[in-house]
Chain A
Amino acid sequence: MTGGAGSVPGEEPQASPRDSSEDLYEDAPCGYLSTLPDGTVDRVNRTLLEWTGHSRDEVVGRAFADLLTAGGRIYHETHYAPLLRMQGSVRAIAFEIVRADGGRLPVLVNSTLQTDADGNAVAIRTTVFDATDRRAYERELLRARDREQESRERAEVLQRTMARLADENAALYERERHVARTLQTSLLAGDPPRDPRFAIASHYSPAVDTLEVGGDWHDAIRLDGDRIGLVVGDVVGRGIDAAATMGQLRSAVRALAGTRQSPSQLLEHLDTFVGQVQSAWMATLLYAEVDVGEGSLRYACAGHLPPLLIEPERARLHWEGRSTPLGAGGDDPPARTEGSVALAPGTRLLLFTDGLVERHDRLLDDGLDQLVEEVDARRAAPLERLVEELPRAMTADGVGDDDVCLMGFELALEPAVR
């Protein structure tokens, strides 16, 4: 943007000595121009001509505003000129001068209004500073501001979307939990068979920490004759899927129990069923059949915890009739075995899921030992109270890691009259 003295077309090199007034004006380190009050340029210095590439003839006699971009001309008329009139001076007004080659020269302009003794405007003196670097910097600032604003707006949109998603997820989760709970409750709600020859009590409580339903269930089924089918099972997983699978498995057990199958045969049929219902794979199950007439128990455990038999003299876990969880054998299911026990009048039977005895800070065997102790300690308690109290006693503070499901059966002391 700079050039040697005399590079302006039609200019004679100045003969005046260095630092003469003329030299100070013409080659000042800023552009300098004077206009009449109406804006017509009547004097301009060499520096400004060099910067803009215009010849003196192209500038003198023209309106200063004509040197500006159209936007600058509007700004000149609406801001610069009124301000100058009212204040007598303006400072640091940003314009762009259109150069002879069509390029733009960003400048900052200071002007003062010269008045005569009566206060009438006689001339305007203007200095012009090259603001190319500064304007580039300002543009960068503006861009940065716009970018910052844009990214802030994007972040806000994202945040709002996330919040909405979270809300929707929470609502969905809540709805699913509600559906699962309703499903499970409805499946567990059926009244147990009532008969003077026996009593049944059950308990189910969901895990507190997850608040999500599990796949535990219990069931008592009146079969033909004097037989009662008792079931406690546990489907892998949690939530609505587990609840639905539990429902299917429960129905399957009910259907099979009515066909006079032995407990081990029932498990074998369930293996076939689980082969078709993937979600029931690895479910565990204790199926027990009590003949209240004979006073006998036959049972089979598919990977499930053993039944606890509470006889008048002692409480004992029965480890017979054990085999793998449902479907564990794949296409080659294991032969299912079963155990059988004679039941004296007054004998109680306790079926339960692992939530009752399993805790992360305790071995399973210790849990089972404790269960036997707790049961022994409540030998005199009615069945209902025993079933109600055990979960709390077993989990100390009543808060379990898992769902707790248990069912108690009691054979009446006096054999009822047929």
Chain B
Amino acid sequence: MPIPPRPPVPEKSRSNRIGHRYGRDARGRRGGASSLVVVNVLLRNNVAVGGKPGGQPMLFAHGFGCDQNMWRFVAPAFEDRYRVVLFDHVGAGGSDLSAYDRARHSDLVGYADDVLEICAALELEDVVFVGHSVSAMIGVLAANLEPDRFDRLVLVGPSPCYIDEGDYVGGFSRADIDELLESLESNYLGWSSAMAPTIMGNPDRPELGEELTNSFCATDPEIARQFARVTFMSDNRVDLPRVSVPALILQCSDDPIAPRSVGEYVHREIPDSRFVQLSATGHCPNLSAPEETVEAIESFL
């Protein structure tokens, strides 16, 4: 499988606080971004725009653990009709690591703000938001903040809450999540991806970058730990009934991260939603069963 070249990491740190600086229009949406702001947002999130110019925008958001490469088998299928926008969450892939803000990114709303800033920067309207895993919830939050901006939501393997609570079964206990954090720590020692972003951004020593076997989805270990915490500790169940745009829930078979009961819960709680059970197993149908995933999205659109 060929490995596409990674977009360069911006050398200079750029503030990610720009979002708070620009005003909102009459509908409460961000707008009127200056070209500098646009550039900053695009660099911050390593935004890649492709597909049909002027087409309806499809915004693909990757989940915890990887980057926009997650969509490499799915996004191309929509490029003939849609304006396809891919990006990396801050801390992942080719994003500007220096834009990571402990306070802003301490909950999913901060990530939703990032998404809305991307929409504003590119002046996206009637967005079809496709969110995998934790980004499904980030999309829900973004759509609740600016409903007018979105046309539809596609939620791939969504879970509003990973930890069991009372009658709600999320699938994990607190101890499980602690184990995950430890697992992350071990792996960063194991394949020293701690150095990956630094090395990858170092044009003087390309040989170091090549030596990294698991170079995809390299994330800054500290940010990954924070993101894991934010992802698996968050509880966004109350946000589901507030979704006012049509939503598609893609449920995998035997998904150890988001079991079927959770997908059904999301379907019950979001008023205008459709539930599709995929035969694909695991948590990443966008990789393991791209055709089935594309088909399901197509029929929803």
Contact = CB atoms under 8 A, between A and B. Distances in A.
Interface of A: 37-39, 63, 65, 69-79, 81-83, 85-96, 106, 108, 119, 135, 138, 141-142
Nearest to A138: B189
B72 interface: yes
Interface in B193-218: 213-217
Query: Which of A38, A65, A79, A142 has the largest number of chain B CB atoms within 10 A?
Result: A79
B186 interface: yes
Contact of A74 (B69, B173, B215, B257): B257
Interface stretch (B104-112, B121-129, B277-285): B277-285
Nearest to B175: A70
Nearest to B72: A86
Contacts of B190: 92-94, 108, 138
B257 A142 contact: no
Contacts of A81: 282-284, 287-288
B65 A79 contact: yes
27 contacts: A38-B288, A65-B256, A69-B176, A72-B180, A72-B183, A74-B183, A74-B232, A77-B256, A77-B282, A78-B63, A78-B133, A78-B257, A79-B187, A81-B283, A81-B284, A82-B65, A82-B69, A83-B214, A83-B216, A85-B287, A88-B1, A90-B214, A92-B190, A93-B190, A94-B189, A119-B1, A142-B185
Contact of A70 (B69, B72, B180, B187): B180
A140 to B, nearest CB: 11
Nearest to A85: B287
B284 A87 contact: no
- Rank and list the top 9 A-B pairs by shortest CB-CB distance, nearest first: A71-B179, A78-B65, A70-B176, A71-B180, A94-B186, A77-B283, A85-B287, A71-B183, A94-B190
Nearest to A115: B1
A87 B180 contact: no
B183 to A, nearest CB: 4
A93 B69 contact: no
B100 to A, nearest CB: 19
Contact of B214 (A75, A91, A135): A91
B3 interface: yes
Contacts of B182: 71
A135 B187 CA distance: 10
Interface residues of B, number: 44
A65 B257 CA distance: 11
Contacts of B72: 86
A86 B232 CA distance: 24
Interface string B265-281: 00000000000000001
Nearest to B184: A75
B22 interface: no
A133 to B, nearest CB: 14
Contact of B282 (A39, A75, A91, A119): A39
Interface string B208-236: 00000111110000000000000010000
Given A77-B256, A78-B65, A86 B287 contact: yes
Nearest to B171: A70
A138 B189 CA distance: 7
Interface string B154-187: 0000000000000000001101111111111111
Contacts of B69: 82, 86
A387 to B, nearest CB: 68
Query: Which of A37, A39, A70, A88 has the largest number of chain B CB atoms within 10 A?
Result: A70
Nearest to A113: B1
B300 interface: no
B64 interface: yes
A127 B72 CA distance: 28
